[in-house]
């Protein structure tokens, strides 16, 4: 399956009721579709397996979204260098930047109704995404792969 097909399949958008409510309750910021387009290009250029990133080709850490040790693992990964996270929903749609701790706590909610593999990366307090410091999330199994 091609990356574009994967990302556009039943994509959820930031206007979804549960996301609008979450944004109002947290220090989240809506960012333009141009950020998603740029991040999608970075993700698409990485080594791929049949349906997701080829984890054997890149160093990383694997966890689950309900793992009590997830925060500790994030601290050992590249994502842990950043106080915020950029969440991509679709390569052609706006995304969100929100505090790292809040995203880790609510990862399943933030990607609820967004089946398949989803991608997010670190972001600075100045809301500048760090595309290379990324993670892959698969909500059906709750798996989180963190680039290290």
In this prediction, residue 13 carries a pLDDT of: 75
145 touches 60 (CB < 8 A) = yes
Could you read off the pLDDT tens digit of each residue along the chain, which spans 148 residues? 344 544 444 556 787 888 999 999 999 999 999 999 999 999 999 999 999 999 999 999 999 999 999 999 999 999 999 999 999 999 999 999 999 999 999 999 999 988 789 999 999 999 999 999 999 999 889 999 999 9
Instruction: Specify the 3-state DSSP secondary structure of 132.
Output: strand
The whole-number pLDDT of residue 12 equals: 60
Q: Where are the alpha helices (DSSP H) in 62-124?
A: 70-76, 100-105, 107-110
pTM of the model: 0.90
Residue 84 makes CB contacts below 8 A (sequence gap 6+) with 97, 98, 99, 100, 122, 123, 124, 125, 127
């Amino acid at each position: 399956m091609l990356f574009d097909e994967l990302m556009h399949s039943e994509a959820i958008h930031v206007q979804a009721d549960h996301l609008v409510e979450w944004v109002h309750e947290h220090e989240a910021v809506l960012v333009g579709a141009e950020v998603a387009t740029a991040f999608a290009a970075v993700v698409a250029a990485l080594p791929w397996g049949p349906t997701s990133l080829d984890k054997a080709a890149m160093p990383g850490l694997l966890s689950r979204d309900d793992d009590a040790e997830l925060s500790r693992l994030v601290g050992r990964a590249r994502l842990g260098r950043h106080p915020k996270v950029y969440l991509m929903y679709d390569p052609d749609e706006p995304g969100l930047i929100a505090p790292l701790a809040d995203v880790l706590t609510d990862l399943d909610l933030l990607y609820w109704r967004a089946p398949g593999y989803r991608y997010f990366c670190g972001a600075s307090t100045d809301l500048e995404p760090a595309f290379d410091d990324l993670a892959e999330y698969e909500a059906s199994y709750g798996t989180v792969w963190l680039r290290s």
